[in-house]
């Protein structure tokens, strides 16, 4: 794949580094040092532990748009993503307890088992409007009954440690994910496409389940990813979300939108070195949003640097 080769300058990288080290959350600082400066994995685990609750799940605003302290599938799935990236062993206590907590949160629904994103208690804490639970089953309606999101990414990550689940459960969940994706994703379901792409491209997922999902995404993604500055200014699906590296199996079908997404990423670094969110919920919780925005800048700046490095743009 041949894409334009504009890069983040050393000066721009230095600004991003300074932003993270001076204003980033300890978790993103530790992850940055691990990724770029040969930092210790133990420092990442120590920072992640701050978001862990005594029940083994994660909360404490690990996802900045949900300020709830209670454990949630949303926050625990993000912790699982970090533990997977660290390649922690199955014996790591943070991992084992998180998986045990996730098992306790599985809900049996018609057509399979799902993980509801948030507990009811989270409704009392500040949150973005898309996490609202004011009406019965509102969150399930917002996220398609949780059939794909968050299940697809959680299942894909768990294949890295299959012995942590009872025999047969992981295979059952994997079949349910495959069938849910193949039933069709709503074209505007940005995060659903992302987690489906994780599932489709996670080499540890058995190919018999993964390949049909990859073929489906290969067919639909070219018509669903953002391509213009107007797309990126909103909440369009980025090609970088579904093809995060040049080695991603879905990348070859998305050459043009990948070039556009990379150009946009390079052009939207703020003067302070950070990348910020394109959304806001200041109107709902004006006293809380500034902290959430600052935390998102920490998260998004690290993600931008990791993405640019993966594509050879540093």
- Going from the N-terminus, what domains does the chain have, and what CATH number goes with each? 10-310 (1.50.10)
Give me the phi and psi of 230, to 5 degrees please: -65, -40
Q: What is the pTM of this model?
A: 0.96
Neighbours of 219 (CB within 10 A): 10
| CA atoms lying within 13 Å on the CB side of residue 21 | 10
Q: Which parts of the chain sit beneath pLDDT 70? A: 1-4
Per-residue pLDDT at 229: 87
| Phi, psi values for residue 58, rounded to 5° | -120, 145
Could you tell me how many residues make up the chain? 314
Distances (CA, A) of 52 to 16, 93, 149, 175, 303: 28, 11, 22, 30, 22
- Token pair of 135, please? 């009406």
User: Which sign does the torsion angle of CA 118, 119, 120, 124 carry?
Assistant: negative
Among 83, 96, 88, residue whose Cα is nearest residue 27: 83
State the Cα torsion 237-310-243-16 to the nearest 10°: -10
Per-residue confidence (pLDDT) for residue 128, from 0 to 100 = 98
Return the C-alpha torsion angle 198, 203, 206, 212, nearest 10: 50
Looking at residue 3, its pLDDT comes to: 63
| 31 class by beta-carbon count within 10 Å (0-12 exposed, 13-18 middle, 19+ buried) | buried
Sign of CA dihedral 226, 229, 233, 239: positive
Contact 66, 51 (CB under 8 A): no
Q: How far apart are CA 62 and CA 83, in angstroms?
A: 14
Q: Torsions phi, psi of 289, nearest 5?
A: -55, -40
């Amino acid at each position: 794949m041949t894409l334009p080769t504009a890069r983040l300058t050393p000066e721009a990288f230095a600004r991003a580094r300074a932003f993270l080290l001076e204003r980033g959350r300890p978790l993103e600082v530790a992850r940055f040092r691990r990724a770029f400066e040969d930092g210790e994995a133990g420092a990442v685990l120590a920072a992640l532990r701050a978001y862990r609750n005594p029940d083994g799940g994660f909360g404490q605003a690990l996802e900045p748009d949900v300020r709830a302290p209670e454990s949630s599938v949303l926050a625990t799935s993000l912790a699982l993503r970090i533990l997977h990236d660290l390649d922690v062993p199955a014996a790591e206590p943070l991992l084992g307890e998180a998986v045990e907590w996730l098992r306790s949160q599985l809900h049996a629904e018609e057509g399979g088992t799902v993980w509801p994103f948030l507990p009811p208690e989270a409704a009392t804490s500040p949150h973005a409007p898309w996490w609202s639970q004011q009406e019965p089953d509102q969150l399930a309606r917002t996220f398609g009954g949780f059939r794909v999101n968050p299940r697809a990414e959680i299942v894909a990550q768990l294949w890295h440690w299959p012995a942590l689940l009872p025999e047969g459960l992981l295979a059952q969940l994997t079949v349910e994910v495959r069938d849910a994706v193949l039933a069709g994703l709503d074209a505007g379901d940005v995060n659903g496409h992302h987690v489906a792409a994780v599932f489709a491209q996670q080499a540890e997922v058995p190919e018999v389940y993964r390949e049909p999902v990859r073929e489906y995404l290969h067919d639909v993604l070219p018509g669903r990813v953002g391509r213009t500055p107007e797309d990126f200014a909103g909440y369009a699906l980025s090609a970088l979300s579904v093809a995060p590296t040049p080695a991603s199996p879905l990348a070859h079908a998305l050459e043009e939108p990948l070039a556009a997404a990379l150009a946009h990423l390079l052009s939207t670094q703020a003067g302070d070195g950070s990348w910020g969110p394109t959304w806001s919920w200041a109107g709902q919780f004006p006293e809380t949003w500034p902290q959430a925005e600052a935390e998102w800048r920490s998260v998004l700046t690290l993600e931008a640097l990791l993405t640019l490095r993966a594509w050879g743009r540093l």
